[in-house]
């Protein structure tokens, strides 16, 4: 037998099958294999840990933890056990236990580089920066390698960043980090670019810009090679901070000579010019203007410089660069802002823009370039400008429809740019209804004609003419919002469905369809549209609101759970992922990225959307399951929900929504403003506060229901019941105050642009009366607790008050139900009409009914022992005529009325389902449509009808389950 070069550890061979089973997801077999191995080798710690991993993955967390701790207390030092325990603790989300493991291992094997570095990374996972600093230095002492030394320095910087006291950061942590790096600089031990970056970061945070500049411009700066123009960018930033405008100007001018298309240096060039002008700066009579070379300190010099760059581009035979032409427009914009007469040196803005269009009109970026400078044109010039551009678009001969079409994609792009600019100048909006309809016909004709250029395009590629389709959809939306004619909206849906058929990867079509379906109250088609967008990572936070805002409110409870899970899965994995990113940044020396990762984690933890989804998900689970699957108390316990704790960071909440995700060419007066954003955030926060307080009140109600019945108030206070009611009362007063503020906000009736943020459910919740009814039901639970404490003999006034409360709640519920009545979808004169607000009101009725039933359930718990004691007294006195207390009669009346309301609601739903199923959508009049257009519009109407039926079915099913719970309310 040939001699083996490598002797394999026999334990590795024994453990291999268990690893394989775990890797393949066969956890049960892994557990069995581990048990077999442990019978033969009781001291094989790693097998125990692998068994624990199998148990963890099959849901037996407690067993897994016990088994892991058995091994951990032995303080293992073999690599297999340590690695396996690390994996297990990470899966358990207990990274702090990994630090204890490696602390013990390092004590036993003090010279192990591997264990020391694992300990450092374990501290990094939990953000123990002080211990990271110590671990880094300990590692450097064992193995004097530069990276380990700088791990320790970076951990000092992190202590400074995370310090609550800014003074401590500036006087202790950062100066110490600076001295540590300076020691390495003096000893000439700086080796890598990352070490220079870290030195720069420390100096920058200390505000030592002059020293940082010396580092960048000195020999250490030569190590900055991983990014293009890294040194120049850092110099520019420091010059700005130090307000050294001559150097800033000279450096920008020098870099623009090298690359006249590098836009980032034009703003710095212009900013520095105006600072120099304001300071009346003049160059010294002898020698260089400054350390960076000559300075352009007058407007005339800068105008000349820009014009020279343009001449250079004009004389080129190859394609011109856009930078200099845009710089001329930017300079004109800035000169006009300052009221400088030198603006005339650059020429007439209309001519400059026409020239820019002639050169770059066939590029898709032409619209975004010119759009920001349209304000340079006077209103009288708008039509003239569009006419001039239209002359520069090569179109073929007129065809049957009366339109001339472009003959290649470059001409198509030019024509499209003219249409986009017309819309941005408000020329589309100023048309009357007939004008807009004619415009739609023209845009659709161009869209259909342009499809021939993309016949062989892949499914993942967009069609060249997609933007015509999108623009026509925007004009349809204009008509719908201005005239209220729903037919426009159905045609818009049909057009977008057609666009998506030809261009399945167009995200803008999907987003606009998603918005329109939601506005119509049809959530079913939205789930697939959002899935097909394939939102990645942080997009769940930035665009997730489009989905979660409508999911539950439109009665699609199963889809709502799924939508919340989409977002929550991302937010929860963010914590774990960020730790891994930080560890990788340490390993590869990307120190400047570490604060960015931590800022991202904080931004996501403080996200408004995260708080909303968390709250809505828990409320949804209660509405669907509490007192159906589990009792309210058990449901609240399973969620680890606490009435006392408010886990929403109200003061540091971040609005991370991307409100500009929709492509929009509207003129400035129709676009989303900062005021809109502020109002939207205020409204979202207000609605979140109401929902959060409602959730905590339900947790408080569950805690009351869970307490043992106590007649004696002293005993009840010992048991903490008095405390529970004080929390309930405190939360109720907060809710009532919030509802008052919310009512004032709702009166303003804020209107956002159609493509802006969606309004919250706040206005409908208040107008339907559901918030007020929920608060009244929760208030009654406080009175019921008072009744329990007082006993029925001493409480006739309180009983009357409670009975009046019962009656009032029934009246309020009836009013909410009345607001749900009406046809959700009906056909009038061959046209479809929708009333999605009826569906939202129906969901509010269901939510309110759930809360009233939970209050009634608590009431039943209190009244049952009272009734039992009364029956005992009856038997003793043998008096059959003892009247029932008022509150019991009132409660029996309440349960009867709730039963009637539920029956009414279910009959209404059944009636709606019958009427909707009977609607013959085939009889829709689709005049003026081609057969293909009609089929797409028909598909859209079918989706809306199917979605409404699904919503009604889910709401009906939930009400049926709630009807069952009424039977348990007998006392």
Question: How confident is residue 9, by pLDDT bands cut at 50, 70 and 90?
Answer: low
Q: Which candidate, 229, 153, 193, places its Cα nearest to that of 588?
A: 193
pLDDT of residue 712: 40
Task: Report whether pLDDT(965) > 70.
Answer: yes
Greater confidence, 582 or 709?
A: 582
pLDDT of residue 278: 93
Task: Report whether pLDDT(85) > 50.
Answer: yes
- Asked if residues 564 and 617 have their Cβ atoms less than 8 Å apart, the reply is yes
Greater confidence, 487 or 793?
A: 487
- Asked if residues 764 and 819 have their Cβ atoms less than 8 Å apart, the reply is no
Mean pLDDT of 911-921: 85
Q: Which candidate, 835, 224, 302, 230, places its Cα nearest to that of 520?
A: 835
Q: What angle do CA 325, 329, 334 make, to 5 degrees?
A: 140
- Asked if residues 385 and 354 have their Cβ atoms less than 8 Å apart, the reply is yes
Q: For residue 825, which phi and psi values (nearest 5 degrees)?
A: -140, 125
Rounded to whole angstroms, what are the CA distances from 706 to 701, 792, 861, 862, 867? 9, 21, 10, 11, 19
Beta strand pairing status for 404-406 and 831-834?
unpaired
Give, for 244, the enclosing helix (H) or strand (E): none
Task: Report whether pLDDT(4) > 70.
Answer: no
- Please, which residues bridge with residue 607 across strands? 654
Mean pLDDT of 744-768: 92
- Asked if residues 197 and 226 have their Cβ atoms less than 8 Å apart, the reply is no
Mean pLDDT of 252-272: 94
Measured N-to-C along each axis, helices 593-605 and 557-588 cross at an angle, to the nearest 10 degrees, of 160
For residue range 879-898, list pLDDT tens digits in order. Answer: 555 566 788 888 889 999 99
Using the 8-state DSSP alphabet, how is residue 759 labeled? P
Give the distance, in angstroms, between the CA of residue 150 and the centroid of all CA atoms in the same chain: 35
- Asked if residues 251 and 312 have their Cβ atoms less than 8 Å apart, the reply is no
Q: For residue 644, which phi and psi values (nearest 5 degrees)?
A: -70, -35
Handedness of CA 433, 437, 443, 446 (dihedral sign): negative
Distance from C-alpha of 287 to C-alpha of 293, rounded to nearest angstrom: 10
Rounded to whole angstroms, what are the CA distances from 562 to 215, 550, 809? 53, 13, 33
Using the 8-state DSSP alphabet, how is residue 751 labeled? -
Q: What angle do CA 736, 737, 740 make, to 5 degrees?
A: 90
Q: For residue 826, which phi and psi values (nearest 5 degrees)?
A: -140, 160
SS (H, E, C) 80-93: HHHHHHHHHHHHCC
Mean pLDDT of 812-831: 89
For residue range 156-187, list pLDDT tens digits in order. Answer: 999 999 888 889 889 999 999 999 999 999 99
For residue range 496-536, list pLDDT tens digits in order. Answer: 999 999 999 999 999 999 999 999 999 999 999 999 999 88
**3-state percent breakdown (helix, strand, coil) of the chain, nearest 5:** 70, 0, 25
- Asked if residues 804 and 761 have their Cβ atoms less than 8 Å apart, the reply is no
- Asked if residues 68 and 89 have their Cβ atoms less than 8 Å apart, the reply is yes
Long-range contacts at 933-940 (CB < 8 A, ≥ 24 apart): 933/491, 933/494, 933/495, 933/498, 934/494, 936/494, 936/495, 936/497, 936/498, 936/501, 937/490, 937/491, 937/493, 937/494, 937/497, 938/494, 939/494, 939/497, 940/490, 940/493, 940/494, 940/497
- Asked if residues 937 and 926 have their Cβ atoms less than 8 Å apart, the reply is yes
Share of the chain above pLDDT 70, in %: 94
Share of the chain above pLDDT 90, in %: 64
Handedness of CA 249, 255, 258, 262 (dihedral sign): negative
Task: Report whether pLDDT(710) > 70.
Answer: no
Question: How confident is residue 1, by pLDDT bands cut at 50, 70 and 90?
Answer: very low
> In whole numbers, what is the pLDDT of the chain averaged over residues?
89
pLDDT of residue 317: 82
Q: How many residues does the chain have?
A: 971
pLDDT of residue 476: 96
Q: What angle do CA 899, 904, 906 make, to 5 degrees?
A: 95
Task: Report whether pLDDT(793) > 80.
Answer: no
For residue range 205-245, list pLDDT tens digits in order. Answer: 999 999 999 999 999 999 888 888 889 999 999 999 999 99
The HSE-up count of residue 129 (CA atoms within 13 Å, CB side) is: 16
For residue range 779-791, list pLDDT tens digits in order. Answer: 998 888 888 777 6
Task: Report whether pLDDT(693) > 70.
Answer: yes
- Asked if residues 34 and 54 have their Cβ atoms less than 8 Å apart, the reply is yes
Handedness of CA 521, 522, 523, 526 (dihedral sign): negative
Q: For residue 626, which phi and psi values (nearest 5 degrees)?
A: -65, 130
> Residue 204: which residues within 8 A CB-CB, separation 6 or more?
212
Task: Report whether pLDDT(18) > 80.
Answer: yes
Task: Report whether pLDDT(743) > 80.
Answer: yes
Distance from C-alpha of 245 to C-alpha of 753, rounded to nearest angstrom: 41
| Other Cβ atoms within 10 Å of 251 Cβ, number | 24
């Amino acid at each position: 037998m040939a001699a083996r070069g490598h002797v394999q550890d026999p334990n590795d061979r024994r453990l291999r099958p268990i690893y394989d089973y775990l890797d393949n997801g066969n956890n049960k077999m892994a557990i069995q294999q581990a048990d077999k191995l442990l019978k033969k080798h009781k001291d094989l710690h790693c097998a125990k840990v692998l068994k624990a991993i199998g148990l963890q993955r099959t849901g037996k967390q407690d067993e897994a933890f016990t088994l892991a701790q058995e091994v951990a207390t032995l303080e293992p030092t073999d690599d297999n056990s340590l690695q396996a325990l690390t994996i297990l603790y990470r899966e358990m989300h207990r990274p702090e236990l990994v630090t204890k493991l490696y602390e013990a291992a390092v004590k036993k094997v003090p010279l192990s580089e591997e264990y020391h570095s694992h300990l450092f990374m374990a501290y990094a996972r939990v953000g123990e920066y002080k211990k990271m600093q110590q671990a880094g230095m300990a590692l450097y002492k064992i193995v004097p390698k530069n990276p380990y030394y700088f791990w320790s320095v970076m951990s000092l910087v992190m202590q400074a960043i995370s310090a609550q006291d800014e003074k401590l950061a500036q006087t202790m942590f950062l100066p110490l980090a600076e001295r540590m790096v300076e020691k390495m600089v003096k000893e000439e031990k700086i080796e890598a670019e990352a070490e220079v970056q870290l030195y720069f970061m420390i100096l920058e945070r200390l505000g030592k810009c002059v020293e940082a500049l010396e580092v960048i411009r000195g020999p250490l700066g030569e190590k900055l090679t991983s990014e293009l123009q890294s040194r120049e960018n850092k110099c520019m930033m420091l010059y700005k901070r130090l307000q050294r405008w001559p150097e800033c100007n000279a450096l920008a001018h020098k870099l623009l000579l090298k690359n006249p298309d590098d836009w980032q240096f034009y703003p710095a060039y212009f900013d520095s010019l105006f600072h120099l002008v304001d300071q009346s700066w003049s160059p010294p009579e002898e020698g260089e203007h400054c350390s960076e070379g000559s300075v352009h300190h007058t407007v005339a010099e800068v105008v000349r410089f820009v014009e020279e760059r343009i001449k250079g581009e004009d004389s080129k035979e190859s394609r011109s660069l856009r930078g200099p032409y845009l710089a001329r427009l930017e300079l004109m914009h800035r000169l006009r802002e300052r009221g400088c007469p030198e603006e005339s040196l650059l020429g007439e803005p209309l001519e400059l823009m026409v020239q820019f269009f002639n050169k770059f009109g066939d590029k898709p970026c032409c619209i975004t370039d010119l759009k920001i400078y349209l304000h340079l044109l006077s209103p009288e010039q708008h039509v003239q400008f569009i006419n001039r551009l239209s002359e520069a678009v090569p179109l073929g001969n007129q065809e049957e429809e009366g339109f001339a079409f472009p003959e290649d994609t470059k001409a198509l792009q030019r024509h499209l740019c003219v249409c986009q600019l017309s819309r941005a100048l408000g020329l589309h909006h100023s048309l009357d209804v007939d004008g807009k309809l004619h415009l739609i016909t023209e845009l659709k004709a161009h869209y259909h004609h342009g499809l021939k250029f993309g016949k062989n395009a892949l499914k993942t590629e967009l069609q060249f003419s997609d933007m015509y389709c999108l623009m026509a959809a925007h004009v349809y939306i204009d008509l719908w919002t201005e005239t209220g004619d729903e037919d426009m909206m159905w045609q818009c849906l049909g057009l977008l469905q057609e666009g998506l058929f030809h261009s399945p990867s167009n995200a803008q079509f999907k987003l606009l369809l998603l918005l329109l379906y939601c506005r119509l109250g049809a959530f079913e088609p939205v789930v697939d549209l959002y899935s097909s967008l394939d939102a990645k990572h942080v997009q769940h936070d930035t665009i997730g609101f489009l989905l979660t805002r409508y999911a539950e409110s439109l009665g699609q409870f199963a889809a709502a759970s799924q939508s919340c899970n989409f977002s929550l899965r991302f937010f929860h994995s963010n914590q774990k992922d960020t730790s891994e990113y930080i560890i990788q940044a340490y390993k590869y020396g990307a120190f400047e990225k570490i604060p960015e990762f931590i800022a991202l984690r904080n931004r996501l933890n403080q996200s408004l959307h995260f708080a909303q989804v968390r709250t809505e998900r828990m409320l949804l689970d209660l509405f669907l399951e509490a007192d159906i699957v589990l009792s309210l108390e058990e449901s609240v316990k399973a969620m680890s929900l606490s009435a006392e704790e408010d886990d929403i960071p109200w003061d540091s909440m971040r609005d991370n929504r991307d409100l500009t995700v929709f492509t929009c060419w509207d003129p400035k007066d129709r676009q989303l403003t900062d005021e809109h954003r502020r109002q939207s955030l205020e409204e979202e926060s207000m609605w979140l506060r109401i929902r959060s307080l409602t959730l905590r009140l339900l947790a408080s109600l569950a805690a009351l229901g869970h307490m043992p019945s106590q007649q004696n108030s002293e005993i009840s206070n010992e048991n903490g019941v008095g405390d529970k009611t004080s929390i309930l009362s405190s939360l109720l007063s907060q809710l009532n105050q919030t509802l008052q503020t919310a009512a004032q906000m709702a009166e303003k009736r804020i209107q956002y642009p159609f493509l802006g943020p969606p309004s919250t459910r706040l206005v409908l919740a208040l107008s339907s009366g559901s918030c007020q009814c929920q608060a009244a039901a929760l208030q009654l639970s406080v009175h019921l607790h008072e009744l329990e404490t007082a006993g029925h003999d001493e409480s006739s006034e309180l009983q009357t008050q409670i009975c009046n409360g019962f009656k009032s709640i029934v009246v309020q519920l009836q009013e909410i139900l009345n607001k749900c009545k009406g046809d959700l979808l009906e056909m009038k004169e061959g046209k479809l009409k929708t009333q999605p607000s009826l569906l939202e009101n129906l969901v509010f009725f269901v939510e309110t009914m759930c809360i009233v039933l939970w209050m009634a359930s608590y009431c039943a718990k209190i009244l049952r022992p009272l009734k039992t004691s009364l029956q005992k007294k009856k038997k003793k006195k043998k008096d059959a005529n003892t009247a029932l207390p008022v509150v019991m009669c009132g409660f029996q009346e309440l349960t009867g009325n709730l039963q009637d309301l539920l029956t009414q609601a279910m009959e209404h739903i059944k009636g709606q389902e019958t009427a909707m199923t009977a609607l013959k959508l085939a009889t829709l009049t689709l005049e003026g449509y081609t057969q293909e257009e009609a089929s797409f519009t028909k598909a859209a109407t079918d989706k809306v009808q199917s979605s409404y039926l699904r919503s009604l079915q889910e709401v009906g099913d939930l009400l049926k389950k709630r009807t069952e719970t009424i039977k348990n309310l007998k006392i």
